[in-house]
Amino acid sequence: MSQRITLIVIVGVMALVIAVMVLNRGVSSNALPTVSLMTVKKESHDIPAGVLPLPEALNGSGTLVVWSAHAGARLEPCGCVAGMHGGLVRRASLVSRVGAERRLVLECGGWSGGAADYQLVRAATYLRALQRTSQAVVGIGSAEVQLGVVKLNQLLHGSDLPTLVSANVQRADGTWFGERSVQIERSGQVFVVTSVALASSTGAGLTVLDPEQSLLKIIAQHPKSLVVVMADMDETALMALARAVPGISLLVGGAVAGPSPQPLAVGATRIVHVANEGKTIGYWPWGSDACHYDLVDDRVPDHPLVRTAIRQYQEQLAGMELLSDKQPTGMTTLRRDDVAHYTGNNSCLICHATAHAGHALSKHAQAYQSLVKKNYEYDPDCLRCHVVGPGFPDGFQRRGEPVAQREVIQRDLAQVGCESCHGRGSTHVAERQNGRVSSGSFQPVTPATCQRCHDLENSPKFNYNSYWERIRHGR
């Protein structure tokens, strides 16, 4: 009797070991992992105070598809001006209104947001915050393919990441990122979810297979399933894919100019799409004849879990040595000059006292301090437009002693100064100090100069004429 019990225990342990090995190595193409609702943490159900209720048209018990695309790992809008849209910190609050048992949250391609070292850290923060707040399924698009295998491996290393799916993007050695597809149950329905990138997408160490053939294989394995495909494609390509691959229940995009007011129909396939850099979130009640959208504006309160992730990201940046610390970025990279160097605003004071006095009263003079107040003074995305010469050896240095304890020139570069727009001043200063006529070493300042920072993303209401009046100066 004891031998029989021992044998049963051994068999049970072996079955458990085999199951763990399968999970660690990835499932076979014939067995899809099922995302259990038990994995949804309780805090992700909490709705932040002040979030408006879900519209009546989206209420109910059926599956609600919720998606965004081309979000670029935007944790939040830059916040330099009021009225800015987007950011996971707000989008997560809107998603929280939908019960976890019925929401199918899809993060389409274009979520990565750049290849620089700090951008990869930001994208990893974005993914983990996405997992904690919405349990999204994440697709791979052209932007992610362009990162290449090394940076994708780096980005997707670690725990607490959302489910990543791709039917046609694999490493050159034939292994997959995440899963080819995943099976999810919502509101009593079982979905098979995957994604495809354009066949023309390229990235070092990656192979992009034909999306049509890749999807046909998955559909053949699950002929009676509701197949949902995130496709990083424009509307024309989405329609063509639906015609070429019968059996897709829902195509979600993508690289599009605007949202689809209602699902587009190609046979039994429905197509919905929205992009807008994650500033718009789309909803589709499964089987409905209408889509719904929220513009993620500044009236949406922050989700506390994402706000915490942002704070931790900023703290992480403070302790990191980044490649961008030695690589020029932003508006001060107007022209590389191997002779001139930055001198700071004080070198301009003797000849340009009136302009200097006007600048001292402007918001440009407080640009760096505005970051300090928010604890964002180590963020390269912010510094590129809030200091002089970030990334240049003679420009403002992101790390080091507190600015107040630095030498005069470094303190003087901690602002949007004269040289932010006019370029390095040492040649001009030397010429004037020696009584020589200026050789025209400065570059001309035009509206394009301002728009290096006052762009549509960070300053959507920028108007050169009205903004110039705020800082108008001459000699």
Instruction: Please count the other Cβ atoms lying within 10 Å of the Cβ belonging to residue 458.
Output: 19
The pLDDT value recorded for residue 406 is 86
The pLDDT value recorded for residue 327 is 66
Q: For 33-39, which contacts have Cβ atoms below 8 Å and span 24 or more sequence positions? A: 33/179, 33/182, 33/183, 34/182, 34/183, 34/184, 34/185, 35/135, 35/137, 35/163, 35/182, 35/183, 35/184, 35/185, 37/100, 37/101, 37/185, 39/135
The pLDDT value recorded for residue 20 is 37
What does the alpha-carbon distance between residue 274 and residue 258 come to, in Å, rounded to a whole number? 6
What does the alpha-carbon distance between residue 332 and residue 324 come to, in Å, rounded to a whole number? 14
What does the alpha-carbon distance between residue 472 and residue 475 come to, in Å, rounded to a whole number? 10
Instruction: Please count the other Cβ atoms lying within 10 Å of the Cβ belonging to residue 307.
Output: 17
- Amino acid identity, residue 112? S
State the virtual CA torsion across 162, 168, 171, 173 in degrees, nearest 10.
Answer: 130
Task: Name the strand (E) or helix (H) holding 251.
Answer: strand 248-253
**Dihedral (CA of 182, 139, 84, 374) sign:** positive
Pairing of strands 280-285, 64-68: antiparallel
Angle between helices 117-134 and 304-318 (to 10 degrees): 160
What does the alpha-carbon distance between residue 321 and residue 399 come to, in Å, rounded to a whole number? 8
Q: What are the DSSP calls for 132-151, one per residue?
A: HHH--EEE--HHHHHHHHHH
Which residue numbers in the chain have pLDDT < 70? 1-45, 327-338, 475
Pairing of strands 137-139, 163-165: parallel
Tell me yes or no: is domain 47-308 CATH 3.40.50.1470.
no
Asked if residues 454 and 467 have their Cβ atoms less than 8 Å apart, the reply is: yes
The pLDDT value recorded for residue 338 is 56
Asked if residues 266 and 142 have their Cβ atoms less than 8 Å apart, the reply is: no
The pLDDT value recorded for residue 28 is 33
The pLDDT value recorded for residue 445 is 87
The pLDDT value recorded for residue 475 is 63
What does the alpha-carbon distance between residue 207 and residue 199 come to, in Å, rounded to a whole number? 9
CA nearest 327: which of 402, 261, 390, 404?
390
CA 296 to mean position of chain CA atoms: 15
Q: Which CATH class is domain 324-471?
A: mainly alpha
Q: How far is CA 194 from CA 38, 52, 106, 250, 302, in A?
A: 21, 31, 10, 11, 30
Asked if residues 118 and 324 have their Cβ atoms less than 8 Å apart, the reply is: yes
pLDDT 10s digits, 76-114? 998 888 889 999 999 999 999 999 999 999 999 999 999
The pLDDT value recorded for residue 421 is 92
The pLDDT value recorded for residue 257 is 86
Peptide bond into 254 cis (omega under 30): yes
pTM for the full predicted model:
0.86
Task: Name the strand (E) or helix (H) holding 226.
Answer: strand 226-231
**Dihedral (CA of 276, 277, 281, 284) sign:** positive
pLDDT 10s digits, 61-82? 999 999 999 999 999 998 888 8
The pLDDT value recorded for residue 393 is 87
CA nearest 273: which of 263, 288, 285, 287?
263
Instruction: List the chain domain ranges.
Output: 47-308, 324-471
b/e 416-430 (16+ beta carbons within 10 angstroms → b): bbbbbbbbbbbbbbe
What does the alpha-carbon distance between residue 386 and residue 392 come to, in Å, rounded to a whole number? 14
